[in-house]
Amino acid sequence: MFSLLPALLLALTAQASVLTLQSPRLIVSDSTGSQLRSEPLSLSQKVATPVQISGKDTLRITFQVVDKDGKGVQPHQTFLRLYDEKTNEEGILPIRVTPGGKAKFDLNLSKPPLSLPPTPNGDPLKVTLLIGSSLHDPLSAELFDLVLPRSQVAPEHPLESTFHPLPEIKHTFRPENKLPPKFISAVATGVVLAPWAILLALWSQVAPTPSRTFSPSILPFIVSLGAFEVLLFRYWIGLKLGQVLLYGAILTIPTVFAGKQALSSIGNRRLGRK
């Protein structure tokens, strides 16, 4: 328990460290380098008058990041956030800070950065300073409002439509099929069953009589054919193809001999009648 106390105190001390700015100032100059506006910045109060720059002007922001002891600190991340409240467009501009904590940011509209948000209506942008460090508390301060010349409307992103609600899906079901008249159904049934009736009639002329079907010479062949039907049924339930081929090959041998004996018996009976 006591061994954890120094680590907790060190963590609380690190979290309590606060960064601040020393000598923050904004300067607006024209293309010739003449200063049009220069005034200090404050972390606690935003500049009352919006800062306005034209196409050839340059906005410069300078400051030094220091800790509570006044020593220069180089934070891990330093950005300016430019945000338009009406269009919700924003741009994040990084600021390079030296190891001694000194920073300088220049915004030249003759070469605007790609992340600069569009201002089609000329509305002011809120400029916020964001500083992040793993050893100190984060810092966020709204500095001033920036008025830029009107620009083109921001192009629509190719995936913009995927971030909006899609139309409601309405399912349409096909109407039920109409049944044909009973007469047509009966005729179609007769057409389907007619070949079977003809087949049974012709088979009755050549099929052996029931008394001969169950004779010792014909019954083994009938049983072997039934065994093949059972094997196919078992294959449909769960047997594998290899098993079916193996069992079928085994059944083929007795089936061939039983069939040969059945055909010989039927032939002998027919010759005896003649």
Convert the pLDDT of each residue in 48-93 to its tens digit.
Answer: 899 998 888 899 999 999 988 889 999 999 999 999 988 888 999 9
- Strand positions, DSSP E, the chain: 20-29, 35-40, 51-52, 58-66, 77-83, 90-94, 102-108, 125-132, 139-147
| Higher-confidence position of 157 and 264 | 264
pLDDT at 110 over 70: yes
Residue 80 in contact with residue 61, Cβ under 8 Å? yes
Residue 42 in contact with residue 24, Cβ under 8 Å? yes
Compute the average pLDDT of residues 2-23.
62
What pLDDT, on the 0 to 100 scale, is given for residue 1? 40
pLDDT at 12 over 70: no
User: Six-digit token pair at 92?
Assistant: 């994040």
Question: pLDDT by residue (tens digit) across 152-180?
Answer: 776 666 777 778 888 888 888 888 888 88
The distance of Cα 227 from the centroid of its chain, to the nearest Å, equals 54
Spatial separation of the C-alpha atoms in residues 133 and 141, rounded to whole Å:
15
Compute the average pLDDT of residues 119-136.
89
Question: Which is nearest to 39 in space by CA: 30, 219, 48?
Answer: 48
